[in-house]
Amino acid sequence: MSPVRERCAVLERRRVGEYHSLTLAAPRIAEAARAGQFVHLQVPGDRSLPLRRPFSIRQVEHPGSVEVVFDVVGAGTSALAGLRPYDMVDALGPLGRPFEPPEVPASCLLVGGGYGAAPLFFLATELRARRCQLHFVLGAATAGRLLDPMDAERLGHGLTVTTDDGSAGHRGLVTDPLGGLLATAGAERVYACGPMPMLAAVSRLAAAAGVPCQVAVEEQMACGTGICFSCVVPVGPGETRMARSCLEGPVFDGTAIAWAELGYPDLEAVR
């Protein structure tokens, strides 16, 4: 189904740890959306910030609302964090290629870094409906930057948490426990989203274990509709080409991305 432009009322804005969550009344987008897709939001009120901001859909509630989670990193996200209920936001969506669920019930590892874990919760809802076994692996710099481990506990059948500083779960990177989980949890699918170095490492660990892995990338984006060619990533196999992550992604097969071209020459280099 084609994406649409929808003017959405803010239903709720709340804090999630150190992040912000925005729930929008977006019935047409919500009806069409699948996990891994994103909405492209205009910053209301400030004409000096012309570009939209892309956000993975964290969850869809029926009927008709879409939730996104973000960190305040600049003037645009700061303005979005200041929205109040019934303020209006202009959205395009759902955009991009979603995660492909397995065709038969499978055991799945859902690996997320920071607020980048957002689409895993939508994905978990879809995978549960397909009677998949779900194990979440959530990592972040600190406990406050973990996204919704409680929700992961509720949606999944298992949860592993890591923080860089050890303030919650295992001290270390989200990829540290992954090798063991791939070996022992009988994982048949890996789904990951978060920073690019993390995705590079997850993709390689999954490939080494022979487990199919899909990753949702985050590249600097302008249009979200395929016309500006900003958000490209090199994809193979063989001689690579620059694929637009807004059209062919943001979800890619982990083995399709030429991680070495992006500056992650081998597994050790990304850890």
| Interface residue list for another protein (CB under 8 A) | 2-3, 5, 42, 44-45, 47-52, 76, 90, 92, 219-223, 225-233, 241-242, 247
Shortest reach from residue 43's CB to another protein, in Å: 9
The label of the residue with tokens 């995660």 reads: 99
Q: Which is nearer to another protein, 11 or 222 (CB)?
A: 222
Give the residue with the Cβ less far from another protein, 239 or 268: 239
Compare residues 232 and 267 and give the one whose CB is closer to another protein: 232
CA atoms within 13 A on the CB side of 45: 10
Q: How far is the CB of 45 from another protein (least distance, A)?
A: 8
Closer residue to another protein, CB minimum distance, 184 or 220: 220
Is 58 within 8 Å of 121 (Cβ atoms)?
Answer: yes
CB of 94 to another protein, least distance (A): 13
Give the nearer residue to another protein in terms of CB position, either 26 or 211. 26
CA quadruple 74, 75, 77, 78: dihedral, nearest 10: 110
What DSSP designation does 78 have? H
Q: How far is the CB of 249 from another protein (least distance, A)?
A: 13
Dist. CA 31–CA 267, nearest whole Å: 39
Closest CB 141 distance from another protein, rounded Å: 17
- Return the beta strands (E) in 62-187 as ranges: 65-70, 88-95, 107-113, 133-140, 158-163, 170-171
Between 9 and 51, name the residue whose CB sits nearer to another protein: 51
Q: Is the dihedral of CA 163, 167, 171, 172 positive or negative?
A: positive
Q: Go through the chain and tell me how many residues it has.
A: 271
> Minimal distance in Å, beta carbon 103 to another protein?
27
For residues 46 and 79, the answer to whether their CB atoms sit within 8 Å is yes
Is 134 exposed, middle or buried, given 0-12, 13-18 or 19+ CB atoms closer than 10 A? buried
